[in-house]
């Protein structure tokens, strides 16, 4: 049961949701969704009266269509402008993972995203894992297997808990250096590139739990991904 909970908390994705975006900007997600549902309803009614007016072209049907058409345009413009103003993200625009990440980092900060979106689930999963002595030891072994010192991970987790950006960055830098030195990379690539390259050659994280998303188009927080992947692999191997 505990491992099942850890697995749920421990998954990783670089895809940020509408809820994540709202959370980052202190924008009421539930209120936004209520407004969105209202927009969907108005849009549906506009479509209904459009079809009706085409089938029975009379003054009443055309008037209903025009009323809902005007309301839909006004409400859509109002909702998208408000969302854009508060979050910095234009909901009418399509963003790639990288474009969305860059826009949110520019508006907030990388550390703010880490503490707001990723910290709670990661720290909770770690607390559960600590309760299982064998799993905890296996987790430390998995970290060592990819050149990551447990003390650096411990510092990163503490920095997340206390929202200490300086300690977080120091721990991330040391994790990246440990990973680079372990795999003897001679070039100065960023942490994300190093992790994705090692994965592409099948060097790391080939034995995670089935529910863990190993492959991602981007790993925008490699320091968090590596911790989660090591924990997932520790769970999988303890079950063997």
DSSP assignment string, 188-220: ---HHHHHHHHHHTT-S--S--TTS----S--S
pLDDT, tens digit, 9 for 90 and up, residues 218-235: 999 999 999 999 999 999
Instruction: Supply the pLDDT for residue 115.
Output: 98
pLDDT, tens digit, 9 for 90 and up, residues 189-209: 899 999 998 988 888 999 999
Share in percent of the chain as helix, strand, coil (round to 5): 75, 0, 25
Domain residue spans in the chain?
2-15+110-239, 26-87
Give the residue-averaged pLDDT of 17-39.
97
Q: Is the pLDDT reported for residue 187 higher than 80?
A: no
pLDDT, tens digit, 9 for 90 and up, residues 161-171: 999 999 999 99
Instruction: Supply the pLDDT for residue 4.
Output: 84
- Percent pLDDT > 90 in the chain is 84
pLDDT band at 78 (very low <50, low <70, confident <90, very high): very high
Give the residue-averaged pLDDT of 83-100.
95
pLDDT band at 1 (very low <50, low <70, confident <90, very high): low
Please report where in the chains the tokens 């008037």 appear, as a residue: 63
């Amino acid at each position: 049961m505990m491992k099942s909970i850890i697995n749920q908390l421990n998954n990783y994705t670089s895809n940020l949701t509408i809820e994540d975006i709202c959370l980052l900007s202190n924008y009421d997600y539930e209120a936004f969704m209520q407004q969105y549902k209202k927009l969907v309803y108005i849009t549906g009614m506009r479509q209904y009266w459009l079809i009706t007016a085409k089938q029975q072209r009379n003054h009443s049907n055309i008037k209903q269509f025009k009323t809902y058409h005007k309301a839909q345009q006004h409400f859509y413009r109002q909702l998208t402008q408000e969302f854009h103003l508060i979050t910095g993200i234009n909901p009418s625009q399509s963003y790639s993972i990288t474009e969305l990440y860059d826009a949110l980092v520019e508006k907030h900060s990388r550390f703010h995203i880490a503490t707001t979106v990723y910290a709670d689930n990661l720290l909770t999963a770690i607390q559960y894992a600590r309760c299982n002595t064998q799993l905890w030891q296996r987790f430390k072994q998995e970290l060592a297997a990819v050149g990551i010192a447990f003390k650096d991970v411990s510092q990163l987790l503490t920095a997340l808990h206390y929202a200490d950006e300086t300690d977080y960055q120091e721990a991330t830098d040391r994790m990246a250096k440990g990973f680079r030195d372990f795999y003897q990379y001679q070039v100065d690539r960023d942490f994300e590139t190093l992790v994705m390259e090692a994965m592409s050659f099948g060097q790391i994280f080939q034995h995670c739990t089935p529910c863990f998303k190993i492959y991602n188009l981007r790993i925008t927080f490699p320091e968090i991904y590596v911790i989660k992947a090591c924990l997932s692999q520790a769970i999988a191997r303890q079950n063997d």
